Structure 1
Amino acid sequence: MTPFDDDELARALARVPVGTYASLDSLQNRAHQLHVRRRLTGAGVAAAAAVAVGIPSALALTSGDGGTPTPADDPAHCPVTYDDRLTSIQPIDTWAQLARPDMLPPSIRLLWDESAAPPPTEASAFNNSDEAAALEAAFEQCPPPDDLSVVVVQSAGGVVERRVLVMAVGQEREISDVVRTIDAGAAEILIESEARPLDGLVTAWWHDADGMTWYVAGSSLTDDELVELVQTMGTVGDEIDLSAWSVAQDAEQIIQHAGVGDRPATYAYSATVQLDGGTPQLQLMVDDDNRTLWIEAMAGTREVDVAGVPGLLSDDGGGTWRLSWQLDPATTTILYGADDPEELLAIAATVGRVPGGDSRLLDAWKPQ
């Protein structure tokens, strides 16, 4: 295998496909800053970090010290989305690095077989369970937050032609770095990124009449398709209704409650093989962010088999491949490697649970 560059690792560590390599010791800070918004990225959306949140009404739910949540005593005042609730109790620091690999749940503590690849040179993990506890304390009188999100997949012959994510982000968000706008009648569409060369990805936002900010990210979306989406989309109960949108009408799969609008991962773990010069060559990422696997798809992604489990293989450009699969619905595993996708598949086929005392993890573990 040949090394893959810094931009490819940034996708893994923060799920943001731009910027420089996020080293393991910076994962905690980046994860805290991005929270749920990092998951707007899916597999390759370069938008999450550009959101500037502003929810004055929600800030009243925090106590005067800015960090201790004050319970909402009236369900009518409950923020609708998880991200709104999380934003309303900021600042709060909940990500804690795990001192030892045996502190990881067995379902997250995965590694390839010794015969498949060299041992990791760095490994690290974080626990975010305090975030859920803080949200529960602050909104104990509230119903669960809505996960208004849907993924639309168009594919043919086992190859994804287009993947579109549509989701409600929160109330009255300010969107920075807008490239241009499109008039959709009752709403203005804010184009944040134009089509990327690799997969034609377009990202955009709009505000509906009720003040909810919506986000869409999809391959090769035209202006007409975006306008049609905004004008025809509706909600039915806790689901997004795309039945009148032509893109959804041509889809092989429509997946409601995609898992990007509720809590982020409680545990996030990474094991990396680096060359002598420190360049990452292979990286395994595992988390319990309960989302659909199709969030990881992009135009050109291939449906593959990973030791009997459905997987998605994507060319991330620059000679880097990304293989995603789920050993169970609540655990997503992503393996990054370079040059040879068949070699990556062979390594992935050996990935499984390892004991907390695995010598390879103990030797590579780098707690802060």
Structure 2
Amino acid sequence: MILSRKSLNISESSTLAITALANQLKAKGVNVIGFGAGEPDFDTPDYIKEAAIKAIKDGRTKYTPVSGIPELKEAIINKFKIDNNLEYKTSQVLVSNGAKHSLYNAMQALCNPGDEVLIPTPYWVTYPELVKMADATPVFVRCDHTKDFRLDLDDLKAKISPKTKAIIINSPNNPTGAVYPQEDLEEIAKLAIAHDFYIISDEIYEELIYDGRKHISIASLDREVKDHTIVVNGVSKAYSMTGWRIGYAAGPEEVIKVMTNIQSHATSNPNSIAQYASLAALRGNKDDVYMMRDEFELRRNYMVQRINNIKYLSCNMPHGAFYIMMNIQELKGKVIEGNVINSSEDVTKLLLEKANVAVVPGDGFGTDDFVRLSYATSIKNIKNGLDRIEAFISSEV
């Protein structure tokens, strides 16, 4: 029996795969330090959990409108107005089962067979797969680490074709931590308008920006840009609500309508209880958000300093999210404990087997010269994990 050829072409998520492998080892009693996590290690704030409990007690356990409860959509609209200077109507907002679901809906709504979607590299592992699932073709655009992983605008211009349907941008970025400056966003916006393609702006790490920098939503640049943009966000990273699975999208009414129709048949409404919890999150103060952000910044500072003092390793200073791309170029060709290192997969495999440290190989992000480390773990774990990495590399012959 032949399975779906399109589905067979979809790759496993390397981030989820390494986390699952690390958890298997932990279950066997192995003391693994995991740097693969794509979620905050803090608990969901109590006031959000209490709102969920109240929703259960109040019987908020039935179907809701497919696109989300009206109160939550109004809170999202208010968030966009206050935080991003963006005005939307309820018909321009869709609440989904996580930001990933919003991205899936957007790809399905926009793409036809033969369309191309531009993706800056390094990219979040899911972007190319979402494009392929929509029968479109991912086209990759360079972001050079020597330029702080900023988008290569000349390469972007060269990759635009009559088949270009959209570009996916992610700022702050997973996996690089890069935050796109306004001048780069303006150039992307000009190209999207000139060539009439959509911008899908993944802003899930919006609240996690450091060094006093500010988030700029590309849709806020002007009205014409906004009409070309689908903004995707959610509560998972800012409020440590990854398992609650609530994301949302805002954009042109005709696009959101199609996305809503797709969702109505694929999943129907998002979890009703999680919606009420998310409502409390968006209506509450941001004290917990700022606490997490400040702690992440301290961890980032420590991790960057340590990595840049380990032989053969280096990294940039990321300005957002909670990831570091560790440069392993100088490790390639080295022999450690009898093993020749030729790739990011080799580094990942050896660190897990020999040092009991879990990192994510860069090839899953479109670059084999790096591995990704998350600092969404305690300073103690970060110190111990980097000690293990340094000791392992010091055994090079």
TM-score where L is the length of structure 2:
0.25
Q: Which has the higher helix share?
A: 2
Q: Which has the higher strand share?
A: 1
